[in-house]
Amino acid sequence: MYKAVILDLDGTVYVGTQLTPGAKEGIEELRRLGFKIMFLTNNSMVSRRMIIRKLDEMGIEAKVDEVLNSGAATAIYLKNRMRNVKVFVVGEIGLVEELLIHGHEIVSDYRQAEAVVVGGDRYLTYNKLLDAHRAIIKGALFVATNRDHALMEEDGPVPGAGAVVAYLETSTGVKPIVIGKPERYIADLALQLLNVTPDEAVMVGDNIATDLELAKKAGMRGILIRTGLGKNKAPESITSVNNLLELPRILLNKQ
């Protein structure tokens, strides 16, 4: 019997600043039926607080422990592995916020860095890359929030965190630890925070390569939503829904 629903955000709950059809009502129905909800996103540019505010502006209430993004997951990973860490960040302010909240120290001198954390960064410069490169060569732990190649924006795709990761991986020859989807760490962490087993949870997302791959790796049921990237492709072997309003019925049928 399913107890929790893990929902991808971008392309699943909203596309840009617009909710997907039935998202608000679907989520409210899931809550009424007693499902625990977790919003799971690779976006590391924003903090959980920024995500909650965005959801709130679109009429969806969420608590901080209902949101897990790759930035927060990275901060938790570092805490579990090394306690409080001196971090050199290639990323945006939302990532810095999560690292600080979880007790890490942000350093601007690469020689002090115990870890280099990489996320999407629209303020990327050569000097930031050079210092990250030098810190990694000196032995700092190289951690990637995620390897997404690109993000969809209204004007088309823009480079994702994975592009920055590829730059540093190429220049240093060091392979990073990757936290976000489709790596298993973030799914296991979500299940742990939800306090459910893999067969008590479903993962719903629009991206076969990240969301459904993650579900498979973590032993969860994966459901494709035909919004965002999921619009065009839905192999018959995959359960799919047209929108979040259809989700409760599918989950109840399967119980």
Binding site for a copy of itself (CB under 8 A): 121-126, 129-130, 133-134, 137, 149-150, 156-160, 162-173
**By C-beta, is 35 or 110 nearer to a copy of itself?**
110
Side-chain-side CA neighbours of residue 61 (13 Å): 3
User: In degrees to the nearest 10, what's the CA dihedral of 17, 20, 25, 26?
Assistant: -130
**By C-beta, is 141 or 164 nearer to a copy of itself?**
164
**By C-beta, is 37 or 166 nearer to a copy of itself?**
166
State in angstroms the smallest separation of the CB of 192 from a copy of itself. Answer: 30
User: Which residues 6+ apart lie within 8 Å of 50 measured at CB?
Assistant: 94, 97
State in angstroms the smallest separation of the CB of 113 from a copy of itself. Answer: 15
- Residue 188 has what DSSP assignment? H
CA-nearest of 237, 234, 163, 162 to 205 is 234
**By C-beta, is 172 or 243 nearer to a copy of itself?**
172
State in angstroms the smallest separation of the CB of 194 from a copy of itself. Answer: 32
**By C-beta, is 13 or 117 nearer to a copy of itself?**
117
State in angstroms the smallest separation of the CB of 122 from a copy of itself. Answer: 5
Q: Do 102 and 79 form a contact (C-beta atoms < 8 A)?
A: yes
**Peptide bond just before 157 cis, omega within 30 deg:** no
State in angstroms the smallest separation of the CB of 162 from a copy of itself. Answer: 5
**H or E element that contains 165:** helix 161-172
